Chains A and B, each alone.
Chain A
Amino acid sequence: MKKFYYLFKVSVEKIFKELKRYKFNTISDLILFYVLFMAMFLGIQGFGTSLGVSSADMGDSLEGFIIGYFLWTVMIMSFVDIAYNVIDDANKGTLEQLNMSNINLSQILVVRSMANLLVNVLLSIVLLFIIMYTTNKWIELKILSIVIPIFIGIFSILGIGLICGGLALIFKKIQSLLNLAQFFLIGLVTVFPKSKFISGLIPFNYVAGKIFFIVLGGNSFVDLSVLDYGIMIGNSIFYFAIGLLVFNQCVKIAKKKGLLGQY
């Protein structure tokens, strides 16, 4: 376990250092995140007002929108991070070094993604407060009640990230697939099938539904049933295991074809 602690620690350190040293990119990202959200937020508000939706109903929609957007960005960060990390490290010429570690490459990528997620969630929460301040639309954020389901559910998204990372090792240019997948992810946090079974089969969908239930319903993570936790954990294990399987297979293929690091 100690080796994963050191891996996580240096990963968090590296993210903070690079955020600081690529400060133009960091500031641009934060501004983009904020502007995009505000544009959508004001758009929805204007649209609701023009349709004569009552302010109480509008309030629910806006809170839902804020949470949906927050979940979507968290998912994108986790999912895209693995695939982009593979591409980025191959471009930087450091992928071979990661591959030579005594820690499996998939484990390194997952731990690094978790570190990235932690940093990004912290930044997102700060931005969320700025957004709430700007819009004067305050949501009661029960951080722990949100973080626990996110932590359980995010492994399903990491599994999909691993599949894309594996494909990036072999096919090199998969940006189009990643862009497409980002829009597919919107569906996971906006469309909720009525059947628990179907929702439980879709990655992260059930978790997203439960986060809406917690935030909008004024509930807590203890209000979720054992079945809810069972479905969330089962969904995460299933997609994460598939992700690991596909990724390790892709590494094997890349090693056989001599493709590792050759960009």
Chain B
Amino acid sequence: MKAIEVENLTKYYGKVKAVDNISFEIEKGKICGILGPNGSGKTTTIKSICNLIIPDKGNIKIFGKDNKKSAEHISAVFEGTRNLYWRLTPKENLRYFAGIRGLGGRKIENNIDILLDKFNLTDKKDVMVNNLSRGMQQKVAIAMTLICDTEIILLDEPTLGLDVQSFMNIKDMLADIASSMNKTILLSTHDMNLVQDICDDVVILNKGKVIAQDSVEKLMDMFESMTYEIILAESLSKSDKECLLSIDYDLYFINNKTKIEVDIFDIKEIYDIIDKLKEKNILIKEIKQKDNNFERIYLNITNEEVN
């Protein structure tokens, strides 16, 4: 069953086209990552799904119904805003946002206690939110989406600015929410580890257009055999590097230019690079096929270079 259907979504801000005729679908119970560089249209897409932005063209359906009539199915946490009242405690915030949606009573009070316990916030339940760490504030914001009991949760940059421990907590929490509570999650992020670890599907945007859309697994498979790591005996000189760059491959120079990573489409192409290194008398210590990661795939897709 499709939880979210976006069809031909287009949005202009003045003369700037923020989102250009994009379409994608998300199945119920899946976690979908929406990726793209800054200004690619991620937040506009998420806010359009939440009906906080009215698109110029296109339709958005939530469980087959127009999104303007589907507020009861969607909750969201946005990046760059607090989402919560800082002078209220986590418990008071959860009670307030449930009340804003017309929910209350003993059942909600019980659910608040369950959620605070689940997110290890019970001992902080009476501390004002402005006195909590960034990670805990983010946990409260996500708990706030759950107390609203919506089937779909939209998260804009949920791990931005978090330390490693908080990142791990939020990541595990999201995976648990999707699997144990059968929620559909759409999250925008720049964090490829998060996408690789918890997302089922991914939509990649660039300049307001969808440039790739598939399951994370399929995208990983597609690029699996293509990244090789060549470890050199010594670091490359500037001229050697320029010479290597003249051949038509995606090369990434790492570790002070003692390591080259290359993406190739045919195994035989590795000889072109080896020949070039040989020609320049550059000694090779080791060549190995690299376990691919989503960051590389993303960079390949968006045609960005990292040196």
List residues of A whose CB falls within 8 A of some B CB: 2-7, 9-11, 13-14, 17-18, 21-22, 92-94, 96-103, 108, 252, 255-258, 260-261
> In the complex, are the beta carbons of A100 and B82 less than 8 A apart?
no
Closest to A11 in B: B99
Which chain B residue lies CB-closest to A6? B104
- Cβ contact within 8 Å between A7 and B76: no
Segment among B45-53, B207-215, B264-272 that sits at the interface with chain A? B45-53
22 chain-A/chain-B pairs, Cβ below 8 angstroms? A5-B104, A6-B98, A6-B103, A6-B105, A7-B100, A10-B95, A10-B100, A14-B88, A92-B86, A96-B52, A96-B81, A96-B83, A97-B97, A100-B74, A100-B75, A101-B102, A255-B54, A258-B13, A258-B53, A260-B52, A261-B52, A261-B78
Does the CB pair A13–B92 fall under 8 Å? yes
Give the shortest distance, in Å, between B120 (CB) and chain A (any CB).
23
Cα–Cα distance between A7 and B88 once the two chains are bound (Å): 16
Query: Given A92-B82, A261-B52, A103 and B102 touching (CB < 8 A)?
Result: yes
Known A6-B98, A96-B78, A261-B78; 6 more pairs at CB < 8 Å: A14-B92, A17-B87, A96-B52, A96-B76, A257-B13, A261-B81
Question: B193-219 interface mask toward A, CB cutoff 8 Å, 1 = contact, 0 = none?
Answer: 000000000000000000000000000
Query: Closest chain A residue to B73 by CB distance?
Result: A102
Q: Shortest distance in angstroms between B128's beta carbon and chain A's nearest beta carbon?
A: 7
Chain B interface size, as a band, is 35 or more
Set A10, A21, A261: member contacting B128, Cβ < 8 A? A21
Q: Flag if B100 contacts A17 (CB, 8 Å).
A: no
Give the distance to chain A from B130, nearest Cβ to Cβ, in Å: 10
Cβ-defined contact, A258 with B44, below 8 A: yes
Is B72 close to A, CB under 8 A?
A: yes
Tell me whether A10 and B53 are in contact in the complex, defined as CB-CB below 8 angstroms, given that A92-B82, A96-B81 are known contacts: no
Chain A hits for B84, CB < 8 A: 94
Task: Tell me whether A255 and B101 are in contact in the complex, defined as CB-CB below 8 angstroms, given that A92-B86, A101-B71 are known contacts.
Answer: no
Alpha-carbon distance A6/B18, docked complex (angstroms):
38
Distance between Cα atoms of A26 and B228 in the complex (Å): 66
Within the assembled complex, what's the spacing in Å between the Cα atoms of A94 and B71?
16
The listed residue (B18, B72, B85) touching A94 by CB distance below 8 A is B85
Query: Is there contact, CB below 8 Å, between A93 and B51?
Result: no
